[in-house]
Chain A
Amino acid sequence: MSPMKTDWINDTEGLTPEMFVTVGVDESKDRVLRPHISYWQDAFRRFKKNKLAVFGAILLVILMLLVIFGPIMAKHSFEETNIAESYHPMDKDYWFGADKLGRDYFARVWQGGRVSIIIGVSGAFICAFVGCIYGGIASYFGGRIDSFMMRIVEILSSIPYLLVVILLSLWLDAKGIKTLLLAMCLTGWTGIARLVRSQMITLRQSDYVLAAKLLGVKPLKIVTSHLIPNTIGLIIVNITFRVPSLIFSEAFLSFLGLGIQSPETSWGALCSAAQTVFTFKPHLMFFPALCIALTMLAFTLMGDGLRDALDPRQRK
């Protein structure tokens, strides 16, 4: 053992007898807890810590503002054709130039953005809504009903959605936002239904739900007071991840000519139109493609941040 000062106990320098009065435990000390923050405050705090996620959110706000005000800011309407200005170069009149029919490309890009984002966001919400109800019902009843409902999900999710879109547009004889949404949501809700079901089943076996049952709380009350609040975070995260994938699907379908038809437009439709003139007018491809990429990036970064922020297992 290393040599130690043994005279320490007699060293009285700077010490007064008052310092050696037994005061015991200060009971109020027990009250000092971790800072008082609610679930959402805590989640927001964690989200703010994630710089990439905040960047994604800011990017998204900028894109949203442009999508909302872009078509208004432009000097020409997105539908207004002017053959004389065909392939007008980029200048202060036509900020992004003009397309083959002389339509203002700046206005068209943001008008297309509206369509893309509306499809992405509303599609994600519809999928989440249907998926939650379906998954919730399956997990609530359990047993045979549950396995029957899950088999339906498996069948639906095994159908390639491209096929569904083609068949639907043939059958409805219409190509547009509604057909696209219908086609994508027809099978798109299955993922979230599975997720909600498995989360609810896990929650149902948790000790706090058991405690509520033993307290005599009615099953429906357990669903509304325990199961749903504890699933909301998961659903929000799923929606944020769902939006970019829907935007991409829409772009892909429009690119193939199965989506939005002129004069209405979307980012995918713009890309599709631009590919024929890509070699000598690359900027017509560049702007919508960049918008798709940035939107997807923004949603994905934000989704990552939200997932980390809303996951209760990450709490300390």
Chain B
Amino acid sequence: MEEKKVLFDVKNLKMYFPARGGKLVKAVDDVSFKIYEGETFGVVGESGCGKTTVGRTILGVYEQTSGEIIYRGKNTADFKAEDKMAFSKNCQMIFQDPAACLDPRMSIGTIVSEGLTVHYRNMSKAEREERVNQVLAYVGLTSDYASRFSHELSGGQRQRIGIARALAIEPGFIVCDEPIAALDVSIQAQVVNLLTRLQKELGLTYMFISHDLSMVRHISDRIAVMYLGSLVELGDNKSIYGNPMHPYTRALFSAIPEPDPYHSWLKSRVHLQGEIPSPINAPAGCKFCTRCPQATEQCKLEPPALREIESGHFVACHQIQPVNA
């Protein structure tokens, strides 16, 4: 088998935020995973499950409460100034709200070249302009856009500018944080097509964070399912969607609306009782035990570890035993 190069190795990542009354919001609670070069790593979960926080923490937006983030074999905590620069040149992000992620007072050209002024300081003005036009062409826009302002653009065009800004400094890794959630259906397909095309052409690695399960299935190579700050299941696309094991994953996937009048997904879905508890008062054991139909005493007391059930397919559930055990 071909040896895949590990880009990110995240170990026991915890990210707690202080809340009122001295309590802690455990947005991310002991999460470990690896991201390989050239792949699309999908992260799915419902709102409040910590998927956005994971993405932001590995990019260094927040300083993690504990745990290690190893980038290309080097711990991000030990980064020196030049490592930080190299990291920010290589790891970029695309945002959910295309209107909020562009400065309304800057022209598109200035927005796209913002990173160039940091990472390509020797570039002449003409070279910079050329690079901006080149990147705009990548995302399917003409060079006339450079003099425009974001309020003159539509949502889909703005999202492409967000992508162009990230691409301008030639990163290798991009966190896509709900890049299509704010867009219309017909525009979503445009943006997803663009992302897949760019990945093929430029060999990018994506972390694709979304609550849109069918889009994640479409675009991802490996998928992590999160629930209330914890990773419940991790594996490649085929095993996660073809053979979901964790009770939560099963319920979640069966709730994906399928546009098909002959087959009612609503009737055949796995029923889940109750609602997601608040991350301030998360259950002590398995986070899912309050809603899990198979929960036992053990689940309530002891948090399950993520174990490899099949090759490359990890599940955090006390009730599921490894196949060869």
Contact = CB atoms under 8 A, between A and B. Distances in A.
**Quick check: do A and B touch in the complex, using CB within 8 A?**
yes
Interface of A: 31, 33-39, 42, 206-208, 210-218, 225-226, 229-230, 312, 315
A226 B114 CA distance: 11
B197 interface: no
A39 B92 contact: no
Given A215-B169, A217-B118, 15 more contacts: A36-B148, A37-B149, A37-B152, A39-B149, A207-B96, A207-B97, A208-B100, A208-B103, A210-B101, A214-B59, A215-B88, A217-B114, A226-B105, A312-B151, A315-B151
B115 interface: yes
Contacts of B102: 208
Contacts of A216: 84-85, 88-89, 115, 118-119
Nearest to A38: B149
Given A208-B100, A210-B61, A216-B85, A34 B152 contact: yes
**CB-based closest 6 A-B pairs:** A216-B88, A207-B101, A215-B115, A229-B105, A207-B100, A208-B103
A221 B144 CA distance: 26
Contacts of B59: 214
A34 B150 CA distance: 11
Contacts, number: 84
B147 interface: yes
A35 to B, nearest CB: 8
Residue among A38, A211, A212, A312 with most chain B CB within 10 A: A211
Nearest to B165: A211
Given A33-B153, A39-B104, A230-B103, A214 B61 contact: yes
A213 B61 contact: yes
A210 B62 CA distance: 11
Contacts of B91: 214
B93 interface: yes
A208 B101 contact: yes
A23 B52 CA distance: 43
A29 to B, nearest CB: 12
Given A31-B144, A210-B61, A215 B101 contact: no
B104 A230 contact: yes
Q: What's the interface size class on B, roughly?
A: 35 or more
B165 A230 contact: no
B142 interface: yes
B95 interface: yes
A38 to B, nearest CB: 7
Contacts of B92: 214-215
Interface in B138-169: 142, 144, 147-149, 151-153, 157, 162, 165, 169
A33 B97 CA distance: 20
Contacts of B111: 208
A36 B151 CA distance: 10
Residue among B84, B148, B149 with most chain A CB within 10 A: B149
A118 B291 CA distance: 70
A229 B149 CA distance: 14
B61 to A, nearest CB: 7
Contact of B118 (A35, A215, A315): A215
Contact of B95 (A42, A207, A226, A230): A207
A225 B93 CA distance: 20
Residue among B92, B105, B111 with most chain A CB within 10 A: B105
Contact of B152 (A33, A206, A214, A225): A33
B169 to A, nearest CB: 7
Interface string B46-62: 00000000000001010
B168 to A, nearest CB: 9
B96 to A, nearest CB: 8
A218 B114 CA distance: 11
A206 B100 contact: yes
Nearest to A233: B105
A230 B149 CA distance: 14
Given A31-B144, A36-B152, A211-B93, A230 B118 contact: no
Residue among B106, B147, B153 with most chain A CB within 10 A: B106
Interface in B275-323: none
23 contacts: A33-B148, A34-B151, A36-B147, A37-B152, A207-B95, A208-B102, A210-B61, A210-B101, A211-B101, A212-B114, A215-B92, A215-B118, A216-B89, A216-B115, A217-B114, A217-B117, A225-B103, A229-B105, A229-B106, A230-B104, A230-B105, A312-B151, A315-B151
